[in-house]
Amino acid sequence: MSALPTPAAQNGHAHAHPQARDAGPDHPHDHTHGDDDEHAHPAIAVHAPLAATAEAGPAMRVAGLTKLYGRGCPDCIATTGPDVETNACAACGTLVACANVSFQLQAGHTIGIVGESGSGKTTVLRALYGDVTPTAGTAHLAAYRDGQRSIFEASSAERRRIRNFTLGMVYQHAWEGLNLRISAGGNVAERLLAAEWRRIGQIRERAAGLLGRMEVPVAWMDDFPAYFSGGMQQRVQIAKALANGPSVVLLDEMTSGLDVSVQAGVLDLIQEIQRDEGVAMVVVSHDLGVVRLLCERTMVMKNGRVVEAGLTDQILEDPHHPYTQLLVSSINA
């Protein structure tokens, strides 16, 4: 990663520790209440010491995640964001896809990221999965070096191992996560082989079990997903993402474009998996209804920034930021 100054360094007071200032229009609203630690939202503590966060043992903790597309300049952070309604730097034209995104995810829990197109929510997932290289920030996984080293500092070989053993990804478009030229069972097998499964019988048994759980008929296991419906392709993709027993699964708009009845079936399966497997999940969606159903905590993003974060119920019942209020009013209309 380049030696770009951190967002806090570039923007001074605008990125000071949230507890040291009030949440202004460009600052995430924190739904933390007094000294009630049970409801304290660690995502807002962007620059919290590692020792303090490690004690709670989160499955994932992310701090200061920033991704710029362009050469960058000292004005990139200050001249972009919700206050000015743009992601493009006025000084150099660099696109600030996301800036200073921070959160913690406990094992077995789910956090949602909501926002409109261009808000930066998908960039966050792609950076965590290794599809794009972040410009700044850190991300620690409990399953990687006991959470003591950022996965962004890992070597290429280590990043491949993290993808193959520790993370799962479900893309918005199934063709990004599936190889449509091989069978449904072959897609699951491909993931298992990457995770060093070698016995064909065990691989086929695992694939059949996962596809069956996703309600993909076992008789279709040797068929190409290119000929499946959109909903069925997403079920195959979820089965593939879960094949290696990941500790964290990243889901990007997995119900977008699906019929309402199909969406309901996919969401029911996600809930069942999260409950039974205890896997931690990051769910990206533009639909607050999806986040309400799946996620205990939620972050709201706009123009590359987190503008509000906290318990999902609190955000939906008492939104603070004007953009969040607009989102909530749209689902209550």
Q: Which residues of 157-184 are buried (b: 16+ CB within 10 A; e: fewer)?
A: eebebbbbbbbbbbbbebeebbeeeebb
Low-confidence ranges of the chain (pLDDT < 50): 1-27, 32-56
Q: Give dist(CA 8, CA 47) in Å, integer.
A: 10
254 close to 235: Cβ distance less than 8 angstroms: no
Q: What is the pLDDT of residue 333?
A: 58
Q: What is the pLDDT of residue 225?
A: 95
Q: Give dist(CA 94, CA 179) in Å, integer.
A: 33
CB atoms under 10 Å from CB of 129, counted, come to: 20
Q: What is the pLDDT of residue 19?
A: 32
Q: Which residues of 19-47 are buried (b: 16+ CB within 10 A; e: fewer)?
A: eeeeeeebbbbbbbeeeeeeebbbbbbbe
Q: What is the pLDDT of residue 273?
A: 85
Q: What is the pLDDT of residue 134?
A: 97
pLDDT digits (tens, 9 = 90+) for 204-255: 999 999 999 888 998 999 999 999 998 899 999 999 999 999 999 999 998 8
255 close to 266: Cβ distance less than 8 angstroms: yes
Q: What is the pLDDT of residue 45?
A: 26
75 close to 59: Cβ distance less than 8 angstroms: no
94 close to 70: Cβ distance less than 8 angstroms: yes
Q: Give dist(CA 66, CA 290) in Å, integer.
A: 26
Where are the alpha helices (H) located in the chain, listed in sequence order? 7-11, 50-56, 121-129, 156-165, 174-177, 184-194, 200-213, 230-242, 260-277, 288-294, 312-317, 322-332
CA-CA-CA-CA torsion sign (301, 299, 331, 318): negative
Q: Give dist(CA 278, CA 192) in Å, integer.
A: 20
